[in-house]
Amino acid sequence: MSQQLPTDITSVSHNRSFDGWQNVYRHYSQVLNCQMNFGVYLPPQAESQSCPVLYWLSGLTCTEQNFITKAGAQQYAAKYGLIVVAPDTSPRGCNLPGEEESWDLGTGAGFYVNATQMPWAKHYRMYDYVVSELPQVIAANFPVLSDRRGIFGHSMGGYGALAIALKNPGMFKSISAFAPIVAPSQVPWGQKAFRNYLGDNESDWIGYDPTYLVKLTSERLPILIDQGDADQFLDEQLRPDIFAKACAEVNHPLTLRKQLGYDHSYYFIASFIGDHFAHHAAALGK
């Protein structure tokens, strides 16, 4: 997607935090054909200068609220002078058949792909939304340095961050993830989503699979992944060692940290979010 899209936004909430502002906005997405919310944290530095921008992608069942209320990110965004954007995880209220039947497909489970299968194809285009439309909206409304972007996320969103960065070399200067679904083509969550959104042809799936994409990209941005060893989804759904092996095969720089006793929750994310901000700030020049 490269066409210019409308960039009008409406304020939903506006809260002071660490001398900056945690805001939520709503806009009509032409890509998704529905209203969408997104969070934006504006650090105090943004009052007088343009700042690098860091995109956060959330996991299954989440809205824009989970990250901005639970991760404790604002203090680090203020420290490093980073604008942080947190979109919703899927279209909502589209009244599609099956949209509300399960927590891992449909509402709250957009999987950051462009759906090609009906009934999803008209609305479920979260890949284009994150890669093209949302950055246009952000650039038109906030003082961001659009050539200094980073991306990170959790679980489904960690997968989304990896896939989007690897598919778009040059768009981001930093990548990290918490407990990402690194091999969606090989695990139940990813297989269910891809089959419904993309169809039964598995060759169409690998174009969104980080374990495959990392072998194709010529860009070698260092990747930081934190994974709790007590994560209830570790062995069946997350499989970080598959991604580590793929990175090793092509000498892609990866720091994979196994965190003792940590699970899949935001308690885990909040414990290590500061390290991820430091990782991104170093790459973004702040």
Segments in 81-187 forming alpha helices (H): 126-128, 134-141, 156-167
Report the distance separating Cα 60 and Cα 228, nearest Å: 17
**Active-site option among 154, 264, 279, 280:** 264
Q: Which of 155, 174, 176, 185 is flagged as catalytic?
A: 155
DSSP class per residue in 136-159: HHHHHHS-EEEEEEEEEEETHHHH
Residue-wise burial string across 218-242, b where 16 or more C-beta atoms lie within 10 A, e elsewhere: eeebebbbbbbeebebbeebbbbee
Q: Are strands 20-29 and 223-228 parallel, antiparallel or unpaired?
A: unpaired
Query: What single-letter DSSP state applies at residue 211?
Result: H
Place of tokens 């200094």: 148
128 is catalytic: no
Q: Is 204 a catalytic residue?
A: no
Active site residue 252: no
Query: Which positions are catalytic?
Result: 155, 231, 264
